Amino acid sequence: MFKYLISILVNPKSTWDKVANMPKDAADLGMIYSILLAIIPAASFYYGTTQVGWTVGDGLPTKLTVESANRMIPLFYLAQVGAIFGIGWFIHWMSETYGADSSLTKGIRISGLTATPLFLAGIVGITPQLIVDFTVGIIAVTWSTYLLYIGIPRVMKIPEERGFLFSSAIIAVCLVAIVVILGASVILWDMGAAPAFTD
């Protein structure tokens, strides 16, 4: 799977064709791929929020305390990995509806490769500047959406029209996942994982 890290970004169509020809139940590195790449945004935001900080207006940089980051960043990491596995499961679960032959491994493979731009864009967390993070984030989400829409028909070997509907259903699942993560964040903050800032 790691051999597709760059090719999925620069030559996605041929990469998806290669992924489609992998055995659907092959024990590959699909799960480890997402588990390792999710470290990039978690480590970047840990450093950025505790060492660099962000500035609002002309004030001094605001930073998280190390203790607060030690509680929040592992939860952030687990949310990323959980979302990839959850969306991968939904891809597999919905595949029968769209006439695709799938497996859980294939669903997680698609989910992880589609999220590659998001994982790599997480490097901007090293310098948490709102305009930079927002711009890079929009580009990464756009590229991931594009990867999903061209990848589903190829990997699932279904017509493009059906692949469009399938991909749109997955986008809806992703939006629900975001809402679930936000809701869980509010609950966890109320239970003691709220951010604490340096003086």
Residue 64 pairs in a beta bridge with 197
From the centroid of its chain, how far is CA 61? 28
For residue 183, pLDDT over 80 is answered with yes
Q: What pLDDT is stored for residue 196 in this prediction?
A: 81
Q: What pLDDT is stored for residue 46 in this prediction?
A: 94
**Residues whose CB is less than 8 angstroms from the CB of residue 22 and which lie 6 or more positions away in sequence, other chains included:** 28, 109
From the centroid of its chain, how far is CA 199? 33
Is the Cα torsion angle 37, 42, 43, 47 positive or negative in sign?
positive
Amino acid letter, residue 144: S
- Tell me the pLDDT tens digit for each residue of 19-34: 888 876 555 566 788 8
- Tell me the pLDDT tens digit for each residue of 85-122: 999 999 999 999 998 888 888 899 999 999 999 999 99
Indicate the pTM of the whole model: 0.89
Q: How far apart are CA 125 and CA 148, in angstroms?
A: 24
Averaged over 117-130, what is the pLDDT? Answer: 91
Is the Cα torsion angle 198, 37, 175, 9 positive or negative in sign?
positive
* Max Cα-Cα span within the chain: 57
Question: Considering the chain, what is the average pLDDT of its residues?
Answer: 88
Q: What pLDDT is stored for residue 103 in this prediction?
A: 85
- Tell me the pLDDT tens digit for each residue of 141-181: 999 999 999 999 999 999 999 999 999 999 999 999 999 98
